[in-house]
Amino acid sequence: MTIGNQAIYREASEILSQTYGADASFRDGQYEAIEAAMTRRRTLIVQRTGWGKSLVYFISTRMNRNHGRGMTMVISPLLVLMDNQMDFARKMGICCTALNSRVKRNSEERAEIIRDLRNDRVDMLFITPETLMSDEIQAILPEIRIGLFVVDEAHCISDWGHDFRLEYGRLGRIISGIFSNVSVLATTATANDRVVNDLKAQLGGDIHVSRGPLTRPSLHIQTLRLEGRADRYAWLLENVPKLPGTGIIYCITKLDCDVLSDFLNRRGISARSYNAGAADEENDEAIRAFYENRIRVIVATTKLGMGYDKGDISFVIHYQSPANIVAWYQQIGRAGRNLKDAYIFLMNGKEDDEINHYFIETAFPSRKESTEVMTAIDQGSGLTRPELEKSINARKKRIENTLNFLENEGFIRKEYDGHRYRYYATPARFTYNEEHYQAIMSIRRHELEQMHQLIHTRECLSRFAVNALDDHTAGDCGKCFNCTGRDIYPDLRVSDASRKTAAAYLASQKMSIEPRKRWPDGKTIRPLLMTGICLSRYGDPGYGEMVRKGKYPPPGVPRRFDDQLVTKSALVLEKLIWENGITHITFVPSLRSDLVRDFAQRLAEKTHLQFADLLEKSDAPQQKEMENSSFQCENARSSFRVRNTQMPQKTILVDDVVDSRWTLTVCGFKMMECGVQEVYPFALADSSHEEN
């Protein structure tokens, strides 16, 4: 330990003793980081999970407040991480609060917090980057006394984290701007040399770097080559009950979290889903249940990838392979914090590469997307996102990403008008720095290749991982599959019975088709379609794969849906037909194929319903070329009309694949305008895009 200032050391040691007892001592590098935070302008801590990074800024906060200095502001990405940190901070006698999505705009609670900040009655504020960047908080920042600015999970400032939270990318400007004369402390548990150098450049000034070894000696690591969902479900069904304690299963998408947690619960393994698509209340309850050991498993996206402190997590399983070792090592760091042994399993297969390549290639908006959005904003006067969707044929998510990207780059700004955000051009001249964006994507492709190398290496998995993070101090762990030559936990096998159970569950999956309730302009749709049924996810094992093969058969094989799809659809629809007195089946026509007509005719025969040819299709662009609701709805409106024929009272409307639901909505609406009382959508597969 190097002590440069005895007074700081004595005060920091006293606070440490008050917290942990008289025998407590600083870990290697902790005191130096505290002294740097108290005497230097910029400090970067890169230390493994459990090292005690938060203790550095908790003690620094106590010292600042003891001497009448300003409060500490902590940028924290996750609400659950804030909860953990606030509990610990309060135990140290720190008066702290939080501003995030839970504290609603215009609420009395929010107003009271802001009054306390202005009156210097708060020692520490935890705030999400989105909240910090809001007009409301930016306006009051000059009125708040800040002694220390902390960026937790600081690797997100780097371009590495650009597609995780764009607001993190703007923190560098905040640090060099309004916080240029404030002490800054940045912390992360995982960063390679590239990220460290990027962080040093963004922090600026005289940087004190505290960087220690990253090896986690409690972790036993094994990779598992499992190509299909059924194989992975079967492995989890068979082996999760054998593993000790509680654990996390990481999935890339929200839908995978929901379906997998449902499967586990149905097979007697208590699980909850945790993801960005769920309500805060649902996620809070899932976390509480996990923390209190009322469930065995929490199935989570990367929303739970950082900072969550539960010391007895004994296993982490990745249902899909992450895109890089930085993210993977960050996530497995949740395990084994207070345990001698914890078990890490990394599932991988071809599907993972396809997903990860998609996210890499779409992380930045294209030049075309950026130019179209900028042109529309330049020509408009404070456009909203829905207004942009009417003029730009791009997916809603892509437009949102492009707006965030352009705001992050300083080319546009947004203002809240009391109802929604409006976007305006800034004086900055728009340029698309394609060379820079391509360089970042090239780095990410390289890091994905590192992930492939980890999966296939015969070296020690722990040493390979920390070497990839530019920590070359590690030796072989002696615990991973490659070191021992055997499974890291006894009897990790999968029975034929588990495979059959998993395959049957996935084959039985059906989803509801919720009718669109509003037109793109916000007006209510009246009359409204009934809730329908979708048989499968497109391309999934079982029926989803049958749909794909029926639509796109091998050369020389005619396009026709398998009879098994007819039989299964009839069984799925049987109860709906009987309970609602449905008498007819009709279909969404196509000018290019009779595939859906043929299927609907066979389904009508199987269900003993009358087949009705109610709709006509005009020559128009294919619906799959339309990217957002405005274009999809308008294209469907112009593509279909109702035949001049007698209308049934209740009918099933059949299509092969559903994505946006606009084709089914418009066709059903037009039929109801012509006299049909109830329309029930039915589709063989759902191909809608879903992201974490």
* DSSP code string of 529-544: PPPEEE--BTT-TTHH
CA–CA gap between residue 378 and residue 618 (Å, rounded): 36
Both tokens assigned to 521: 């302009």
Q: Is the model more confident about 311 or about 298?
A: 298
pLDDT at residue number 275: 85
Q: Look over the chain and give the mean of its residue pLDDT values, rounded to a whole number.
A: 89
In angstroms, rounded to a whole number, what is the distance separating the alpha carbons of residues 180 and 149? 10
Burial grade of 328 (CB within 10 A; 0-12, 13-18, 19 or more):
buried
pTM for this predicted structure: 0.83
> Which amino acid, one-letter code, is at 100?
N
Q: Is 680 in a helix, a strand, or coil?
A: strand
Distance CA 482, CA 221 (A): 9
| pLDDT score, position 159 | 54
Tens digits of residue pLDDT in 512-561: 898 899 999 889 999 899 999 999 888 877 788 899 999 999 998 999 99
Range with top average pLDDT, 46-60, 123-137, 531-545, 582-596: 582-596
512 Cβ partners below 8 Å, 6+ apart? Answer: 531, 532, 533, 534
Range with lowest mean pLDDT among 125-134, 204-213, 298-307, 615-624 = 298-307
Degrees (nearest 5) of the Cα angle 686, 691, 692? 135
Residue 321 CB neighbour total at 10 angstroms: 24
How large a percentage of the chain has pLDDT more than 90?
Answer: 57
State percent of the chain over pLDDT 70: 96
Closest-CA residue to 545 (of 521, 559, 566, 561): 561
Mean pLDDT of 389-410: 88
Q: Domains of the chain by range and CATH?
A: 6-211 (3.40.50.300), 219-357+442-507 (3.40.50.300), 366-436 (1.10.10.10), 509-686 (3.40.50)
Q: What residues have CB less than 8 Å from 198, skipping those under 6 apart?
A: 157, 158, 159, 160
Position with higher pLDDT, 506 vs 61: 61
- Please compute, for residue 458, the number of CA atoms within 13 A of its CA located in the half-sphere on the CB side: 1
Q: C-alpha distances in angstroms, 516 versus 419, 520, 588?
A: 22, 10, 17
- Using the predicted structure, report yes or no on whether residue 160 has a pLDDT greater than 60: no
Coil, helix or strand at residue 415: strand
Please name the amino acid found at residue 212.
Answer: G
CA pair distance 272, 291, nearest whole angstrom: 12
pLDDT at res. 162: 44
| Among 127, 128, 124, CA closest to 165 | 128
Q: Could you please report the per-residue DSSP string of 515-578?
A: PP-B-TTSPBPSS-PPPEEE--BTT-TTHHHHHHHHHSPPTTSPP---HHHHHHHHHHHHHHHH
| pLDDT tens digits, 471-501 | 988 899 999 999 999 999 998 989 999 999 9
Find the mean pLDDT for residues 65-69.
93
Q: Is the pLDDT of residue 80 over 80?
A: no
